[in-house]
Amino acid sequence: MDYAESYCQQNNGTVLSTQSQIENTFVQYHLLPEWIMLGAKEVFKNYYAWADGTIWGTFDNRDPLDRSLETLDCLVMYKSSGLW
């Protein structure tokens, strides 16, 4: 995630964090590509934090069939479903 944060900052941007279903849906419907990398990373086993430092809390939009979070430490949102 450090690379993504650095890249965004160098291009006057920031990595994305969604804090609610409403924000997630907004992002989903405004995506131009088929997917977008989200600004979250695993800091401990099954413990994720957004790049802005906030903890996931109760909002969890992970795809139950996608086990990639068990082996990867970054998130991607898919436009077709809005799931991560």
**Is residue 61's pLDDT more than 70?**
no
In a domain, 84, yes or no: no
- pLDDT for 72 equals 54
CA-based nearest residue to 41, from 69, 78, 65, 67: 69
Number of domains in the chain: 1
Over residues 39-60, mean pLDDT? 70
CA distance 30 to 41: 23
pLDDT over threshold 50, residue 58: no
> CA 43, 48, 49 angle in degrees (round to 5)?
90
Domain that holds residue 44: 2-78
pTM of the model: 0.54
Of the pLDDT bands very low, low, confident and very high (cuts 50, 70, 90), residue 65 is low
Where residue 11 sits, what CATH number does that domain have?
Answer: 3.10.100.10
Residue ranges in 1-84 assigned as alpha helix (H): 2-10, 21-30
Nearest to 1 by CA among 78, 77, 74: 74
